[in-house]
Chains A and B, each alone.
Chain A
Amino acid sequence: MAKKRERLDIIKDILYSIRNNRNIKPTRLLYSSNLSPQMFKDYINELIAKGFISLEIDKDEKKTFSLTQKGNNFLEEYRVIERFVENFGL
């Protein structure tokens, strides 16, 4: 059985999806995140509140997500956090 993804891994996966597909649409991001709609909504709200991603709405009311500078910084720090957690067994 595949190991359940940890919270930090889910955040990393969402941020990587947004970085790799600039201005990604919510539906496509939901599919790529592999989360339930409710969990996806919770994570997205948290990431917006933290300032990691931003939601943009164009004049045709189309919504897209993009990565902020803070989100980019997080991805850079992610490896450091991952190594720390693994090495201390946290």
Chain B
Amino acid sequence: MPLYDYSYNLIAENLELFRFFYSMLIAFICLVVVVKTDRLFKISAHQGIRYFRNAFFFYGVAFVLRYCLTDIPYFFLVRAVFQFFMIMAGFFLLYSLLWKKFETNEKNKSSFFNPVIFLFYLITIIIILLDYLWNVYTFMFLSQILLFGLASIISCINYKKNGEKHKFLGLYFVIMILSFFAWFLNFVFGNYLGWQLKWLANIYALNTIVFLVFLYEVIKLTRKQD
């Protein structure tokens, strides 16, 4: 396919620029989602919106840090902070679907300092330490595979319950599956096959689609109705 080959060569020749644009695009999408959802949260004080907003705030920071993960001083420290934001973002996204089972919306508790979130912090720190000790990303990948596996199951249940009335629930389920698949590919290529540019570009494309779908739906749903 000439177009595919052309795109591949273009990426290979401008890899650094490509990485920069990819990271900044995702960070920008996250910024827009955070601004839009923060407005809704400030009006409603809805905890689910709050955790959803936190997830995209953490993804935004993680993708900015991700771009910095090259040969820099204190690489291990930047990597640990990157992993912290990336893993916690996954936890926040999953918890935005689950929070009703663990807390009520009656009291306006902190979304960063409450018992469940402390447990997530603890698990995240353990994962970072394990990855640091073995000098791998395996534990982070496995944690995200598990998180998005759970998120896929929950979003499937939500779709079966209310999919007729709320059309996006179906697409939400699909993007959770895609995210699960993207993390699975990360795990396989990071541990067994090595990072080949061709596959890396496909994972980047998959992630970009997921974030763009979120952006589209957030913009669509936060628009005032006439």
Contacts and interface: CB of A to CB of B under 8 A. Distances in A.
B168 A81 contact: no
User: Range of interface residues on chain B?
Assistant: 20 to 34
B105 A86 contact: no
A88 B168 contact: yes
A50 B115 CA distance: 27
Which secondary structure dominates chain B's binding surface?
helix
B221 A84 contact: yes
A7 interface: yes
A8 B46 contact: yes
Nearest to B45: A7
Interface residues of A, number: 19
Contacts of A85: 46, 48-49
Contacts of A42: 106
Contacts of A60: none
A86 B166 CA distance: 7
Given A8-B44, A81-B49, A87 B169 contact: yes
A86 B224 CA distance: 16
B225 interface: yes
Interface stretch (B9-17, B23-31, B128-136, B154-162): B154-162
B53 to A, nearest CB: 10
Interface in A62-90: 73-74, 76-77, 79-81, 83-90
30 contacts: A6-B105, A7-B104, A7-B105, A7-B106, A8-B46, A73-B43, A74-B43, A77-B40, A77-B43, A80-B40, A80-B221, A80-B222, A81-B44, A81-B46, A81-B49, A83-B221, A84-B40, A84-B222, A86-B165, A87-B167, A88-B52, A88-B168, A88-B217, A89-B97, A89-B155, A89-B158, A90-B48, A90-B49, A90-B51, A90-B99
Interface of A: 6-8, 42, 73-74, 76-77, 79-81, 83-90
User: Would you list the 9 A-B pairs with minimal beta carbon distance, nearest first?
Assistant: A90-B48, A89-B158, A7-B105, A87-B168, A84-B221, A87-B166, A81-B44, A86-B166, A77-B43
